[in-house]
Structure formats: C-alpha cells, structure tokens
Structure 1
C-alpha cells in the first residue's frame, strides 16, 4: 500500500495563504527597513526574509488567480452593488499584491548594488540607475500603503457584509 499526499482544497489553501499574509502586511505597515537597521544586519536580514515570504505568497496568489480566476463568490444575500464591489475589491487586491512584488523587483533592478532577499536570493541584476531607483522606490511605497488601505477596506467590507445584507432587505 502506498501513501498518497493530498493537497488541500483550493479554497482552504487560499484561506491559509490569506490569513498567513495578514500578520506580514501588518508588520510591513508598522516596520520599515530603516526601523530594523539600528538592530544590526541580522535584524535587517530577518525583515528581508519576511519580505521574501510575503512576495512569494503574492506571486502564488497571482498565479492561482491567472490560472483559475477568483476563488470566492459574493454572498447570495448581498445586493448587486455589493457583489460588484466584492469582486472588484478582490481583483484589485490580487493585482495590487502582484504590483508590490513587481516594483520590489524593479527596486533591485535599478539599485546600485545587488540586493539579496533574505540574504539568500538575488532580487535582480543591479543596473545602477539612481533616478529610476528613487522613482520606483516612491511608487513601491505608495503602492504598498494604497494596498494596505485597500486591505483595510476589504476587512471592513467583510465585517460589514452581514450589516449590508440585513439593511437591504
């Protein structure tokens, strides 16, 4: 008799991915690389390793979306406008996650030296483009905080979807 490994159902895997990203998102909202640098290279490497985990999760989620589309469906009791908001918000979150990963790669590409994610993985070959690096850095930061705001709105939407269902009846 051979043992078979069964992967979890897609929705279960995505829920695990979703909830594992929440503490990472909160961490990156509260802690910047400049905050960890005073604690030494080891602290910076750990912060960078967490970034690598976050980016890997972002890319896995984007790949799943591109392959199979959205996994969630809006609740049947939601009014039509809330269903549209639900699906649009989920798409914006997935593409936003991908965008943060992409601009992170562009940061490494435009850098003056080789960036190593987590101290183990080269991000991109550095092209030493200081003006582009500054611009991409600003876009990356703006995009991340915009994504964080959208994630907060997403949480509020889901915490209030019961309210929306009850008040529209």
Structure 2
C-alpha cells in the first residue's frame, strides 16, 4: 500500500523515541498496533462487503439473464405448440365435417331404402326342395372306372370294406 523502506521505518522509530520517550514508547507502539489492526480489519470488512455486493450484482444479472432465457424458451415453445395445434384443429374440424357428411349420406340411404320398401311389393323367395332332383342316376356297377363318381372311389391306404387305414392296428 505505502512504499516505505526499512531505512524510513528506522528513521520514524528514532524520531518517535525522541519525541515520546522511552517509558511511553511501548504503550504507544501497542496502541498504534491495535489501531493498525482495527484499520486492517475495517478495510478487510469493506473489501468483503464490496466483493459481496459485486457478487450479488453478478448473481442478479445472471438471474435476470436466466429468467430472460426461460421466457424466451417458453415463448418459443408456445409458438411451436400453436403452430402444431393449428393443423391439428383444422384436421379435427375436417374429420368432424366428414363424419357429419357420412352420417347424412347414411341417413339419406336409409330413407331411400325405406321408401323403396314401401313402393315395391316384396318378392316371394322360393323354398328349397326337400328331396334332390331325380335327374342324376347313380352310376351302374358295370360302368367303366373313369365314368364313376370320385366320391365312391376307394382312397389309397384304406380298406374298402372296413373303412379303416390298412397297416395300422385299431
């Protein structure tokens, strides 16, 4: 802080010894030491307070920057949400319109069908016959094998009389 050399300190000590005297010099030196210590503590406290205030200002600036960045991110997310929501709302509205048009088409088709039922007499559906027609006669036993019905041919691996598979125990 002060640029004082050893020779200058010696000169101040000699002058203090002459002015104050040898009896009171130790007491004055102790008091000056306490005062210098207090001054150093006071300067140290002031430096700490100033440093704390500077750190607090830096923290407040950093906090402000972080809040600004958070607001920026929030607004960009809101913009992105709005930009995505608009097409979804349009698609939802189009889907509702399409559903309404399909429902109106179904209602009009039902109305036309009921009008057609009332206008036309119902046609009678013929009932199925209880016996098959007698047109197809069973093949004769003496007919060649090529002309026989395939349903009456024996299956390979089956005995025709017992209807069981040959070669396997029953």
Tell me the TM-score normalised to structure 2 length: 0.22
Tell me the TM-score normalised to structure 1 length: 0.22
More helix by share: 1
